[in-house]
Amino acid sequence: MLVTAYFAVFSLLTLCVGLELTARRLTPPQPSAAVNPAFRRFQTTFLRAYLLALWADWLQGPYLYKLYRHYSFLESQIAIIYVCGLASCVLFAPFSGWLSQALGRRHMCIFFCLSYSVCCLTKLSRDYFVLIVGRILGGLSTSLLTTTFESWYVHRHVEIHDFPKEWIPRTFTKAATWNNGLAIGAGLVANLLAEWLHLGPVAPFLLAIPFLACCAWFVLTDWAREEADNSTDGEKQTVLLGTPNGGVAHPSARARFSRSCGDGLRCLLSDRRVLLLGGVQALFESVLYIFIFLWTPVLDPHGPPLGIVFSCFMAASMVGSLLFRVATSTRYHLQPGHVLCLAVLMAFFSFFMLTFSTVPGQPRPHESFLAFLLLELACGLYFPALNFLQGRIIPEEKRSGVLAWFRLPLHLLACLGLLALHGEISGTGAGESGSGTRHMFGGCALMMLAALMAVVSLFTLGRNDTDLKLEGTRGEGEIF
């Protein structure tokens, strides 16, 4: 497994470079935003802090399960810790957007840095309760990371700078490109600290803390300066006194949050396309949380460098996202609906393979590793395809409310899956030998089959809907 992991990461990184060069050749230039110095300064100010936050988040990925095992906790106990983290996402995710509006977007970004730093510090403790508290803080921090930073950027982009809305995806496309590279690098650095330097699995968590501190510093200084320099006189007063952007709750924030949730639920129930797309997202992404829990106990007994394996996963995901860019370019014209269907089908085959490669007493780690890579490749195709369809199906003014409802069944399904795994391990004692893991992979395969049926139903319903197709490729009578 050691040689396989290093060979895989080298091959995947080479493939990433080739696909990136190909994608750049096929992507038409967009000079209007690139030559605008004000936009570039604003974009740089945002990305400097945001990428530090993402880097600190990725550093904690490769050795989380390994750390709990290092502290001699059983797999069933670790499952409960993961469930607590997911449950905190369920509880805090609906309120994170409201808190950003009520207490101030910039202040919530600083709070994210603080809460995530405390989460990392709890990893120094061997106390089970302390680790659970740390995981709950991790769930809260993840919810804030996915909402507050983007909320600050979009608000400043549209309301203050009055830049064209069409430029917003360019910033997040750049962030996504950097994010893929950071994820790969995080695995390499974590492996260097934990295994090459023999500092143990807690070292990457401690390294994340200074980067979170740097992120908070940029938010405190650069973002505050940006707000002061680019606000009107009245808005400068609000920054100084602590109103919506600065930090004191706006009296209508709670009403806006309630209205957003209500509008989202009505949109979800009134449009069958939105309901089916939400079902696909809940099924697909819930099994990803189960995969995040299970990949380490499946591979770790066979001695692979976990940081390198993590980098392999992230490189495979990057390959998938680059393949999406190439496939949907003006040269190939593949529809995002086709890509989404392919991604779900690949995920199904991945979990189907895992039900055979994790047979108790007859593990086949190389096949399991290949199946995991296939799943990550599917993720790279899935997310850009899903984002495109969400942008076309869900009205922009209702999107935040709808996505909040999407995340609820997503996290609940993941929690139920981990609880089922915990129950099987605790009840039979066979989980440590792999039978519980194999059954869980079988359940994930069935969920992917259900997601595939939902994808087919979605695009059968909208087979002639031009909104679900890329412009210039509107074939008549196509299913997608």
Fold that domain 1-24+42-229+254-459 belongs to in CATH = Growth Hormone; Chain: A; (1.20.1250)
Q: What is the pLDDT of residue 475?
A: 39
Torsion of CA 418, 422, 423, 428, to 10 degrees: 140
Q: What is the pLDDT of residue 29?
A: 60
- The span from the CA of 107 to the CA of 412, in Å, is 29
C-alpha triplet 174, 289, 303: angle, nearest 5°: 95
What phi and psi, each to the nearest 5 degrees, are found at residue 477?
80, 10
Q: Would you state the structure tokens that stand for residue 144, as one six-digit string? A: 């804030």
Domain parsing of the chain, residue ranges = 1-24+42-229+254-459
Q: What is the pLDDT of residues 420-474, one digit of tens each?
A: 766 666 555 434 445 778 888 998 999 999 999 999 888 787 676 666 666 654 4
- Residue ranges of the chain with pLDDT lower than 70? 28-35, 93-102, 230-261, 263-264, 396-401, 421-434, 462, 464-480
Q: What is the pLDDT of residue 239?
A: 43
Q: Are 341 and 455 in contact (CB under 8 A)?
A: yes
Q: What is the pLDDT of residue 382?
A: 93
Q: What is the pLDDT of residue 387?
A: 87
- The span from the CA of 219 to the CA of 149, in Å, is 10
